[in-house]
Amino acid sequence: MSVDKDTVRRIAKLARLALEEERVEPMVQELNGILNWVEQLKEVNVDGVAPLTSVVEQRLKMRDDVVTDGNVADALMVNAPGGEDHFFIVPKVVE
């Protein structure tokens, strides 16, 4: 399988990634280079093989459903590029 310019534009949109028009064609080449290289995985018969979901055999840990942290709104706002009081500022979303 290989990608074309429209596919690259579509996945860039899905990834919310602005891609300058002059970067689209080089990106097509680069992604196809990688995709052609991973094609070799098709040689392997994976019938009946379960996908690996965890490398270490361990049951997912559970803990009591209680609040262990919080009241850190000031700290959370420190790095906000647009913030006022305890609110993140964004462009208007709903007309």
Residues binding another protein (CB under 8 A): 1, 3, 7-8, 11-20, 27, 30-31, 33-35, 37-38, 40-42, 44, 46, 49-56, 58, 60-61, 63, 72, 75-76, 78-82, 88, 90-93
SS3 26: helix
Amino acid found at 33: G
**Min separation Cβ 75 and another protein, Å:** 4
Residue number with CB closer to another protein (63 or 85)? 63
Q: How far is CA 62 from CA 59, 65, 66, 82, 85, in A?
A: 9, 9, 12, 36, 35
